Amino acid sequence: MNKRLFFLSLFSLVVSFSYAQYAKLYPTNWFTGMHWNKVQILVRGEYDGFNKENVRINYPGVQLTKINRLENGKYFALDITVSANAKPGEVIIEFISGTKAHAVAWPLKAKRSGNGSSYAKGVTSADFIYFLMPDRFSNGDESNDKISGMRDQSLNRDSIYHRHGGDLQGVINHLDYLQQMGVTTLWMTPVLENDMPNRTEHGYAFTDHYKIEPRFGGEVQYKKLSDELHKRGMKLIQDAVYNHVGRFHFTFLDPPMKDWYHQWPTFTQTSYKDQPLFDPYASKQDAKRTADGWFTTEMPDLNQSNPYVANFLIQHALWSVEEFGVDGWRIDTYLYNNLPFMNRCNKALSDEYPKITYFGENWVHGVINQAYFVENKMDLPFKNNLQGAIDFQALFYGIQPALTQPFGWNEGVTKLYTTLSNDIIYKDPTRNLIFLDNHDMTRFFTTVKEDIAKAKMGIAWLLTCRGIPQMYYGTEILMKGESNPDGWVRLDFPGGWKGDQKNAFTGTGLTEAELDMQQYVKTLANYRKQSSALKTGKLMQYLPNDGLYVYFRYDANQTVMCVMNTGDKEKTVEFSKFAERTAGFSKSKDVITGAVTGEKFNIAPQKMSILELQK
């Protein structure tokens, strides 16, 4: 053997033993046929000075255009271009130091087929979202309850703060339950790896963007869940957190650059105030604290003004949609992000997936405050491109006072009417997500003081008002709990664990009231599924009168009359008082009971009737 062949053989031997162990690459893979074809790979080596090595890629259709050596000597950022003619395969990235060479395989996968039809379909007002926490919904695989080597080894259902063992297989096991209830879309708290020492049940302080939580079943189970949803014609929303990570995230323990995170002389928490971001009189220091302050000591604040951080986050969003077949995006703590970055990220998603939708959490007070962060009709120096908001205003200044306050000029159900009248400021209010409660707030049944009649009124409103309805797991069976501490609103769904005496999936052990509410949700949600007026129709509301509030959902094919009596006396309702919408109709059918009434009828106090008008 001549010397050249000998060294080539030796080089091949070194390469063959170095695959996927010499360095870690983020994103872990990419796809052919993507609009986003200029990919920036964050590469992390094991020793300081790693990024002094040379880098070489020799793969048809893949070009290394720039090598960025970051401040931390363990990190590269490699700019590559994937051409339109590149084929799926393993791109070998070679790291060369002197006469030594190591190689890492970077898979280039084929893009999913059916973009816009089988995934990335978007979520609209025609959908009904069910929101759950995987750790607290159902334990379908006890073998992954604990994972050796992870920091949080808790497993105790008697503690509201420890892990309980719920997982993605548990969700898969009960998709029939959700579908039969009329649910079209599933949203879960974050499913990314959360290797924090404690409070890992919620998932919002994750530690690796490119790993799915192994105690949920990992990447295999997440893909299986996505596939099972799509087989049923259902959709998947991923909970996205751009603002922060957990303090045990690898980029915080070993930052690629000094400014990867927002740094302060001493710990500085966000003020949680949204006003400095749009207040014409605000100080810059207040605005900086809102956006750059840390959410908590456990959640370091990412610096999205750093272009490498921005690329890392945007590419993860695109990768998630493509890798797991995600249909929609719920964005956590939206207002604390760098807003120009969020515009860029949202646009990247829409450019790649034209039908995909994204809505953001902005826990603010005031319709203008909320509207600032989404597409709106205001003439402002800076315009956000977020499609829709999680509608805290319709909750706090709408349905909650409607059901908990006596009627008045500015109180009670009048607040619901007034808040909806302010929809004039949104570009498209039907893209807002409406809800009754969530994992951070007191459960709805507790808010209405465990009044079943009021709970039914709230659910009736949720499934008939404009926007995208979202129900928090357990609302359909009257789960209750105060939010302080938050663990009490994150209790286990009954029946999700072996040996549960109470099982909401089968009805075993449920009270008569719980069974009745479950059936109420099922009946109304399934009616909504086939109702064009409730899914995509227009809304017309009438001024509330003595606690009686009437609104209509309607289109060319159907008219649904919604009558809410928040008073303490029976009220008489006459079609003639609502002639704009009732003209030509002589009777109505109650969508819950099937009872038929004429042009004049009475409604009991603390009741809401949903009536399909008939000629």
Both 105 and 225 in a single domain? no
How many angstroms separate the Cα of 145 from the Cα of each of 35, 168, 187?
39, 12, 22
Catalytic residue among 94, 167, 301, 332: 332
Say whether pLDDT at 478 is over 60: yes
Taking the alpha carbons at both ends of the chain, their separation in whole angstroms is 94
Both 550 and 473 in a single domain? no
**Selection from 469, 443, 361, 447 nearest residue 401 by Cα:** 447
Both 273 and 167 in a single domain? yes
Catalytic residue among 135, 193, 361, 612: 361
| pLDDT band (50, 70, 90) for residue 117 | confident
Q: Is residue 205 part of a domain?
A: yes
**What pLDDT does 491 receive?**
98
Both 166 and 179 in a single domain? yes
**Selection from 50, 55, 119 nearest residue 356 by Cα:** 119
Q: What CATH code is carried by the domain that includes residue 162?
A: 3.20.20.80
Quote the radius of gyration of the chain (alpha carbons, Å): 27
Choose the final residue of a domain: 534, 558, 584: 534
Both 315 and 267 in a single domain? yes
Neighbours of 589 (CB within 10 A): 15
Q: Is residue 298 part of a domain?
A: yes
| pLDDT band (50, 70, 90) for residue 42 | very high
If you average pLDDT over residues 469-480, what whole number do you get?
A: 98
pTM summary value: 0.96
Choose the final residue of a domain: 534, 566, 582: 534
pLDDT digits (tens, 9 = 90+) for 347-401: 999 999 999 999 999 999 999 999 999 999 999 999 999 999 999 999 999 999 9
**What pLDDT does 21 receive?**
77
Both 392 and 373 in a single domain? yes
pLDDT digits (tens, 9 = 90+) for 418-435: 999 999 999 999 999 999
Q: What CATH code is carried by the domain that includes residue 19?
A: 2.60.40.10
Say whether pLDDT at 20 is over 80: no
Q: Is residue 457 part of a domain?
A: yes
Choose the final residue of a domain: 53, 74, 109: 109
Both 82 and 184 in a single domain? no
272: left (phi over 0), alpha (psi -120 to 50) or beta: left
Q: Is residue 419 part of a domain?
A: yes
Q: How far apart are CA 210 and CA 326, in angstroms?
A: 15
Q: How far apart are CA 615 and CA 587, in angstroms?
A: 6
* Cis, peptide link before residue 27, omega less than 30° from 0: yes
| pLDDT band (50, 70, 90) for residue 403 | very high
Both 19 and 39 in a single domain? yes
Considering its fold, how many domains does the chain have in total?
3
Both 530 and 544 in a single domain? no
Q: Is residue 584 part of a domain?
A: yes
| pLDDT band (50, 70, 90) for residue 17 | very low
Q: What CATH code is carried by the domain that includes residue 607?
A: 2.60.40.1180
The tokens for 575 are 């079609």
Both 530 and 427 in a single domain? yes
Both 530 and 555 in a single domain? no
Range of the domain at 391: 129-534
Say whether pLDDT at 8 is over 60: no
332 is a catalytic site residue: yes
Say whether pLDDT at 16 is over 60: no
The tokens for 119 are 């995934």
Both 279 and 349 in a single domain? yes
The tokens for 22 are 């010499």
Residue of higher predicted confidence among 14 and 328 = 328
- Give strand ranges (E) for 110-181: 129-132
Q: Is residue 114 part of a domain?
A: no
**What is the number of alpha carbons within 13 Å of residue 585 lying toward its C-beta?**
27
Q: Is residue 65 part of a domain?
A: yes
Say whether pLDDT at 2 is over 60: no
Q: Is residue 118 part of a domain?
A: no
- Give the residue carrying structure tokens 């956000």: 384
Q: How far apart are CA 547 and CA 569, in angstroms?
A: 9
pLDDT digits (tens, 9 = 90+) for 62-77: 999 999 999 999 999 9
519: left (phi over 0), alpha (psi -120 to 50) or beta: alpha
Identity of residue 549: Y
If you average pLDDT over residues 240-267, what whole number do you get?
A: 98
